[in-house]
Homo-oligomer: A and B are copies of this chain.
Amino acid sequence: MLVEVVGGGSLGLLFAAKLAAAGCRVKLVTRSREQAEAVNKKGIRVEGWTELTAEVPALAFPDAVSGLNSADRSEARFILLAVKQTAFTEELASYLISSMEQGAGLVSLQNGIGHWEKLDSEKARPFMIQAVTTEGARRLSHSEVAHTGRGWTRIGHIHAKDTEPHTEKVPQINLKTVQDCLKQAGFDVFVSKSIERHIWSKLLINAVINPLTALLRIPNGKLPETSDSLLLMRKLFEEGRDLALTQHVTVEESLWDEILEVCRKTAVNRSSMLQDIAAGRMTEIEAITGGLLAKAERAGMSMPTHETVYRLIKAAEQSG
């Protein structure tokens, strides 16, 4: 079994190194040739919760398209996708689709839902697995990563087509195989029958809290404290819930309580979006609210509150 880890960020490095150290055949695909060279030369060093150095052959993405496909086509493999939504290009999407059409499984560690449609093809769909992880990692250099917190990882099949209800397809890539492989590498992995619910929950929590805290420039805990921002949170929640329903995902009322709970638990935190806006950086708005709005547009649904905060954040990015 070959595991092709796509993405040399914190999670990509962590998973690649731990899989390789457990004896799995791993290839790392990075964005830059510079990083591929560094990893080929020094291996990947992990510190913190895990302490190890693993040799991992690496190559940069444009080279991977020809390089990996020809050499490793025959071997059973899955791709562990660990790039940010913002780095998810059309070029990468077609590479992944063609890999899946050739039989490779795809396990996506990406947050959000922006990639689901881009990867949706009749043939590829049964090969798509979505993962949600709470493993904590921070990249220290091209080839070094800190394992900052031990978490859990849930994996499950998603249905990628907007209009199609969830059906039980026989997956070509076995969830059990992926689970065993990741377990062997030391990760706590659970198979989930409702992975989409987990993804949607995480997405809606972010979509409700992050843009508002960024626009109002307040820490998370302040958000539910005024009646007007609470009302905005509720509108964002309800628009998101209605959208999820068009995708055959039921969002329970308990997620609303969870959102309020997240604000309480992270009361003094300034969301990453607020930090980005304050520092004049680009935010993750495309991956979070942008992904919802793209879904809504395809579903012919209007999400005016999300649309307004999305435009405000985009405008703030540009004038910041």
Residues of A that sit less than 8 Å from B by CB: 212, 215-216, 218, 222, 225-226, 228-229, 231-232, 235, 304-305, 307-309, 311-312, 314-316, 318-319
Contact = CB atoms under 8 A, between A and B. Distances in A.
A308 B316 contact: no
Contacts of A312: 212, 215-216, 228-229, 232, 312
Contacts of A222: 319
Nearest to A318: B226
In the complex, the count of this chain's copies comes to 2
Q: Which of A212, A304, A311, A315 has the most CB of B within 10 A?
A: A315
B305 A228 contact: no
B308 A309 contact: yes
The 10 tightest CB contacts between A and B, nearest first, are: A304-B304, A229-B315, A228-B314, A308-B308, A228-B315, A226-B318, A228-B311, A232-B311, A226-B315, A218-B319
Contacts of A226: 314-315, 318-319
Contact of A319 (B225, B232, B318): B225
Nearest to A304: B304
A231 B215 CA distance: 17
Q: Which of A225, A307, A311, A314 has the most CB of B within 10 A?
A: A311
Interface of A is mostly: helix
A216 B309 contact: no
Given A304-B304, A304-B305, A311 B229 contact: yes
A228 B215 CA distance: 15
A316 B231 contact: no
A181 B229 CA distance: 48
A109 to B, nearest CB: 30
Contacts of A231: 311
A318 B228 contact: yes
Given A216-B315, A218-B319, A222-B319, A308 B232 contact: yes
A132 to B, nearest CB: 30
Nearest to A225: B319
10 contacts: A216-B316, A216-B319, A226-B314, A226-B315, A228-B311, A228-B315, A229-B311, A229-B312, A229-B318, A235-B308
Contacts of A235: 308
A226 to B, nearest CB: 4
Given A231-B311, A311-B231, A215 B215 contact: yes
Nearest to A229: B315
Given A225-B319, A229-B319, A232-B311, 7 more contacts: A215-B312, A216-B312, A216-B315, A226-B319, A228-B315, A304-B305, A312-B312
